[in-house]
Amino acid sequence: MRHIIAFTGGLACVTDLIDIKDRLIAFARGLGIEAVGVTAAAPFDAEEEHLRRLVETGLECPFAAGGPLERCRPESLLPGARSIICAAVPYLRPFPRPDAADRRRVAPGWRGEVSRYAWGPDYHRVVREKLERLAAFLDEAAPGTAHRVMVDTTPLLERAAARRAGLGRIGKNCCLITPGYGSWVFLGEVVTTLDLPPDPPLPDPDPCGDCDLCLRACPTGALTAPGVLDHRCCLAYLTQAGEPIPREVRPALGRRVWGCDTCQAVCPHNRRLAGPPGAVDPVDLDQAPPPLLSLLAMTRARFLATFGTTAAAWRGPRPLRRNALVALGNTGRREAVPVLAAALAGPRADLRLHAAWALGRIGGGEARAALRSALARETDAAVREEIRLALRGGDDRRWSAGIARKCCKNGPKD
């Protein structure tokens, strides 16, 4: 019996659906979507059970949208859903190299680190625009069908859908690893009522074998087991969370001011990869490795001009300023003391707290004098405690991933 589906203008048989899918994939690649796959909009039963366990144990990331039922039942997101079109857009770009003039403007070591996904235009907008065009293609190819575009902030389990659609396999670092582009890909989906022929998952679901480089390289030990991430210790989460960064984790932050790429950077699948096809705009040196001092002095208008179109904008300027304070402390540079002392006299208690830690981290007579002066006027209890710890040498530069994990068991909730 032929597989048929009704849409305005008549019935489509399997041959018609295969033709639509072939044309859809060709159209997608013309948009810069290098990998496209289709899977049935069936429930993700195993993943739903896993999510329920995460919720029960407190390991579910607060940034995740929706509950286990919503995230694992595509039809709850689009009534009558039959297929999920999964897309992967590569974003690997080379590290920007400051020229001589820029090195004179900002000396080496005074720049922060930003995760690659936040270099350039916000991927939510970029990928959504591409997928909206795919949905428009489907409207024309199959009138009367319904579609819903999803990118990151919607409940659907993107990596699970992409794996089932044959785009890649999920590694021990919890990332989807795609052939040819590794894990440096943005994911997005079009859920549709059109019953397109599905693609099979890739053979051999384990891409890692005996390799555990990501687990060993994670700065805080947040990868507690293969495929298990404790977000409460993860620097990618903590740099975006609204609460103070746990004291024991701050040394591990290094000069990171947004996100963390360590578990991807060490992955053997991410070596010797091609970048996105076509011309790539140069990275803005005030965005990708931003000057730490500029982050502290940044007005809201300047923040919007520099980061407003990137994926680092959604939390506003405060997390970047907080993270820059920690990063300055981690530089160990005495030249940063006057700037940190000024932040310790600022109006925001959360920033004063991290400035106090940074001064204690750097140490020295000038830093201690600034801390003693601040203690005499400080009224916030948490900041006063941070200042006391800094004056007592509360951060003695000893740190380990085990300490970080212990600290983060009751880590910040957002």
Catalytic residues, by residue number, are 152
Q: Is 36 exposed, middle or buried (0-12, 13-18, 19+ CB in 10 A)?
A: buried
Pair type for strands 185-192 and 83-90: antiparallel
Residue of 379, 354, 343, 401 lying closest to 243 (CA atoms): 354
Q: Strand, helix or coil at 7?
A: strand
List 113's β-bridge partners, or say none.
256
DSSP string covering 227-262 = TEE-GGG-HHHHTT-SSPPPGGGHHHHTTEEE---H
Q: Strand, helix or coil at 347?
A: coil
**CB-based contact 65:154 (threshold 8 Å):** yes
Residue of 297, 265, 321, 281 lying closest to 106 (CA atoms): 297
**CB-based contact 325:340 (threshold 8 Å):** yes
**CB-based contact 222:249 (threshold 8 Å):** no
What is each CA distance from 289 to 116, 330, 350, in whole angstroms? 10, 16, 24
**CB-based contact 266:171 (threshold 8 Å):** no
Tell whether the torsion through CA atoms of 290, 295, 299 and 304 is positive or negative.
positive
Tokens of 350: 């959360």
